[in-house]
Chains A and B, each alone.
Chain A
Amino acid sequence: MLKHQFALPKYDSPIHFKLTLKKTFFILVANTLIALFIFLAHSGNRFLENFILSQCIGISIALAVFTAVHVIKTPKLVLQVAFITTAVIAGSVVGMTAGSIVLSFALYGNMPPALSGNSWQAFRFTLLYSGLFGSVISYLLLSLQRISDERVQRLEAEKNAVVTELKLLQAQMEPHFLFNTLSTVISLIDGEPERARRMLESFTALLRVSFETALDETIPLSREMDIVKNYLEICAVRMSSRLRYTIELPERVRDVQVPPLLIQPLVENAIKHGLEPLIEGGELSIRCEPESDVVRITVADTGQGMNENDGRKGVGLDNIRKRLQLLYGGGTRVTLFKNKPRGIKAVIDIPYETNNGSHR
């Protein structure tokens, strides 16, 4: 399978935090639980008081930490810890003050009394709890964010690697074919300039469409068939009467989106391994048939076929297999059959695609 180096974020990276509805809800629930805990642990005060104070402190710490995270951009862990701790303490103090004001108004209808010795004790006690819970929850939320960020980055890297591999596979043109074509053109140029020109025209068209489409994710089937036709024209000049071919492309499937240069290698295989080795040559037929949810593309030749030990791996077939695997994840594949009376018949079923061409 694919092997790539994932660009994992370094541990020393600026903190990133996104406040979502889910996280807000999490904070509110945590505040409530803390209030419940303190209520149960220290009987004697009312749950409502604990609840209001706890929410005030919790929200205040969350806001402080949230602000701190957005202000500090340092990648240094020590500084990050220092800033967050400060934010937690500051948030606690602000929250407690706000909380006691709210409490006084809500419960007693007036300003809170000045701090006495007794309430100083309560203040320190509340600060301790705030600091403790605030730190734990901040750490938890920030870590969760980091983990999900890393996952997103990894998936992104994975996707990029697959796209790169696909493009590389698409762009493989055999130098062999290039030089063979040039060789024929050079041979023809003095004696039969007209044929040389026709061949160069087909070759130019082939190159143009291949280059233009090589980076596209999908192209209309009719365009792929243009590539195939130009390819076959070039082969026909070389093989003259030894090659006869037909292409059936019904109007209904002309615009179906297909990955570029997927059919052409099948045609190339049929010519190279099937028809070219035969002294008498043969026929090649390409059929595109609409089925219920796929377009069935059949490339059949009356060439020499294969024996069981034929190491016909070539670039073509492996390339197509890999690309289909990457594009459709095993959902579709090339199937080879013996053609009658002889030769090979290759069949690919391509799922109908919409124009935005997302495969996965």
Chain B
Amino acid sequence: MRQITAVIADDEEALRTYLKKQLSTLWPELLISGEAGDGDAALRLIEERRPDIVFLDIKMPGLSGIEVARKTAGTAMVVFITAYNRYAVDAFENEALDYLVKPVTSERLKKTVKRMKERILASLPQPDLPGVLDKILKTLQQSAGFLQWINVKHKNDVQLIPVAEVCYFKASDKYTIVRTRDGEFLIRKTIAALGDELDPEQFRRVHRSSIVNINAVHRIDRSLGGTQTIRFKDIKDLLPVSRAYSHLFKQM
């Protein structure tokens, strides 16, 4: 029977050493052909050594374990090593992937080794990795890609303002005024661009020239003529709602 090889990728040297030692007792025939301390090194190592099994830490410096597995899909059986994280564990469980949760106990490692051996004997393929991994990547990346931080120049520094703290954005010539509870800041990004990048669940266009953070709104006043004006919780500014957008607040 040919030699089965494995590589271990984890940013902690101690854990790699520990895993190697445990594996040498539980699976003496397995040859650990290499170790890597970050994602990029892991990728190079896998491409170079072509191991049968890869132990891959999810959270590594550089490329993440998931990204490495995605790039090398189909070349090796993957056992993910993950820190305690309910979502990740659920995801692996659902997709029938092999995984170890830190702290890795020898009990659990024994089970994993048994499964690996069975898989190799039966030459069972692992599940469709790329598809599954894309799905997991999506569940683990909470940010849906919406704008989260506004970079503003503040004296000599660049301040990072979380969008949640912005009351409203308002166009002003070539700039946009960012109004927070603490004051006003100018940014170069246009209202149109902001409208595309901000989370529509939280930010609403109320006028050609302004976008409002729904969570910062105290109430909407309506005049006899039907004009709506927005009042905010923490600031005294008033903001008109133009007729084109007034339907947004009909139910409020």
Contacts and interface: CB of A to CB of B under 8 A. Distances in A.
A176 B14 CA distance: 18
B40 A179 contact: no
A114 B103 CA distance: 100
A32 interface: no
B151 interface: yes
Interface in A319-346: 330, 333, 335-338, 344-345
Contacts of B234: 330
Interface string A165-180: 0000000000110111
A308 B151 contact: yes
A278 B61 contact: yes
Contacts of A279: 38, 40, 61-62
Contact of A309 (B14, B143, B157): B143
Contact of B14 (A179, A192, A336): A192
Interface of B: 11-15, 17-19, 21, 38, 40, 59, 61-62, 83-85, 101-104, 141-151, 154, 157-162, 181-182, 197, 234
Interface in A146-188: 175-176, 178-180, 182-188
Contact of B149 (A183, A190, A308): A308
Interface of A: 175-176, 178-180, 182-188, 190-192, 195, 238-240, 242, 276-279, 281, 306-313, 317, 330, 333, 335-338, 344-345
A317 B45 CA distance: 37
A242 B60 CA distance: 13
Contact of B84 (A179, A184, A336): A179
A227 B214 CA distance: 38
17 contacts: A183-B102, A185-B103, A187-B18, A187-B19, A188-B18, A238-B12, A240-B13, A279-B61, A306-B149, A308-B148, A308-B150, A310-B149, A311-B142, A317-B162, A337-B158, A337-B159, A338-B151
A188 B148 contact: no
Nearest to A196: B14
Contacts of B85: 176
Contact of B15 (A184, A306, A330, A338): A184
A180 B12 CA distance: 11
Nearest to B81: A183
A188 B14 contact: yes
Contact of B148 (A180, A240, A281, A312): A312
Contacts of A176: 83-85
Contacts of B21: 190-191
Given A186-B103, A190-B18, A306-B149, 12 more contacts: A175-B84, A179-B83, A183-B83, A183-B103, A188-B14, A277-B61, A277-B62, A281-B61, A309-B145, A336-B160, A337-B157, A338-B160
Nearest to B106: A186
Given A191-B18, A279-B62, A311-B142, A344 B160 contact: yes
B155 to A, nearest CB: 10
B219 to A, nearest CB: 14
A338 B146 contact: no
B83 A180 contact: yes
Contacts of B15: 183-184, 187
Nearest to A307: B149
Contacts of A180: 83-84, 102
B181 A311 contact: no
Given A311-B142, A338-B160, A276 B12 contact: no
A239 B61 CA distance: 11
Chain B CB within 10 Å, residue with most, of A180, A307, A345: A180
B147 A308 contact: yes
Task: Please provide the 8 A-B residue pairs with the shortest distance between their CB atoms, ordered closest to farther.
Answer: A311-B143, A187-B18, A183-B102, A183-B103, A179-B84, A187-B14, A338-B158, A336-B160
Contacts of A311: 141-144, 148
Contacts of A195: 14
Nearest to B102: A183
B149 A179 contact: no
A310 B154 CA distance: 21
Chain A CB within 10 Å, residue with most, of B84, B146, B160: B160
